[in-house]
Amino acid sequence: MSAALQANEVNVKAHDAFFIDGKWQKPAGTGVLNVISPVTEEVVMTFPEASPKDVDKAVAAAREAFDNGPWPQLAAEERGNYLLKVAENLKARLPELAQAWTTQVGAPISFTRYVSGQPSELFEYYGTLIKTYPLVDERRRDNGDLVRVVREPVGVVAAITPWNAPLVLLCYKAAAALAAGCTVVAKPSPETPIDAYILAECIEAAGLPPGVFNVIPAGRETGDYLIRHPGIDKISFTGSTAAGRHIAGVAAERLTRASFELGGKSAAIVLDDADVDHVLQSLVPYSMPITGQVCFSLTRVLVPESRKNDVLDAYVGAVKQVKVGDPQDPATQMGPLTMERQLKRVQGYIERGKQEGAQLVLGGGRPKGFDRGYFIEPTVFANVDQKMTIAQEEIFGPVVSFISYQDIDDAVRKANDTIYGLHGAVYTKDPERGYQIARRMRSGSVTVNGMIVDPKMPFGGFKQSGIGREGGIEGLELYFEIKTIYFA
């Protein structure tokens, strides 16, 4: 079945409008966003592109809902109940959510069906958490006088999300912000707006007050207008480090609160005692998830000099078995890249790797039989020096670099020798030894003997991989201001 036909399985009721102030409103401008199938390269759906006038309208609605509406003043129990309703509505649309992800991004349907429960899980988690979260902390001064330290919602949040995991990444922000009592203006990626529309429909059906959640898909210029808008109190951004630097600079001009989940160049350190078969179980799928278009992909594999050949051979042998094909086929393990520009980007890095002297041992070109669509072979380089471009820059494609090390200190040094610090892994038969090495890695999260990202736990990065954490209790705390009230 073609991607265009599959897209018809997604029921978006108002893809010619924006969700603003609790209503589906016609756009102020005439710009159009095309959702292009990465398999057929054809347009499968169209949406309006938000203009600055639409941003003004959405921010005004969110501002009114925060400043004068009931949402921030509701008891935490009530807000939690609303979020639980949203969670139930998302659960009811799981097949559509999986299909939307596959149609827009090219992620295999077997993967999206497995992971598309996370958005509802996030709303359920934060809806439950806020009911018991300590919003008021009573303390005593040295003289015995009462002090109350209270957590209050930060205000109107601009939630800006990328195209690779559209709804999951939006729900990290929206669920936590709404639980805290904030109102939200969501700007999904112009390439993948379908999911945000489905979320808006679920929020509308749950009966949240008008203006609490608004959706305006748009490109970079309108996004820049949004982050500069004086009605925005906080920016929450997930995307590239380059874009994050720009947004951070804009936020600094008026000290707008901001948090960032950015790029990664994550390292998997394979220790000398690791069982290779066990390593491959998680390293193969998570070094190239969604065709490598995931920030936490384990794209650098660090192996001891004494074992570099056997680990490389085993990994290459396993990757050769990965089925590349139509993401709508349940047997497919790797689909295409999402966009033409992404294909050209990855091809450029592969050529750079060869030019700088890395050894191409697998892939590097288009898979046979795929002359159409943004397909690329799983690609593996060996004998990679840590200073090479492919070992330093985020490729965002299925390109993995094998780097050898002499001893543990050398492994840790190479793992940390990057501007990024998002995720990592350590493989060893001794979990405590793995823990000690994980403590030395400058990364926001590390998995010992596997690959785990749990939405109920904090996720984010050191260095240029971001500021702040999403998920878990820490993800909720991003959306509070702290107020101290003294009793004299």
Residues annotated as part of the active site: 261, 295
**How many angstroms separate the CA atoms of 157 and 411, rounded?**
40
And the tokens for 318? 């396993």
Nearest residue to 380 via CA among 314, 331, 427: 314
**How many angstroms separate the CA atoms of 320 and 318, rounded?**
5
Q: Which run of H or E residues covers position 329?
A: none
Most distant CA atoms of the chain, gap in Å? 79
| Share in percent of the chain as helix, strand, coil (round to 5) | 40, 20, 40
Q: How far is CA 101 from CA 124, 234, 474, in A?
A: 21, 27, 27
Residue 458 φ/ψ, nearest 5 degrees? -65, 140
CA dihedral (180, 181, 182, 187) in degrees, to 10, reads 80
And the tokens for 431? 């979990």
Q: How far is CA 128 from CA 65, 80, 237, in A?
A: 23, 6, 24
- In this structure, which amino acid lies at residue 470? E
Neighbours of 244 (CB within 10 A): 22
Q: How far is CA 132 from CA 78, 152, 320, 482, in A?
A: 12, 15, 49, 18
Cβ contact 413:441 at 8 Å: no
Neighbours of 26 (CB within 10 A): 10
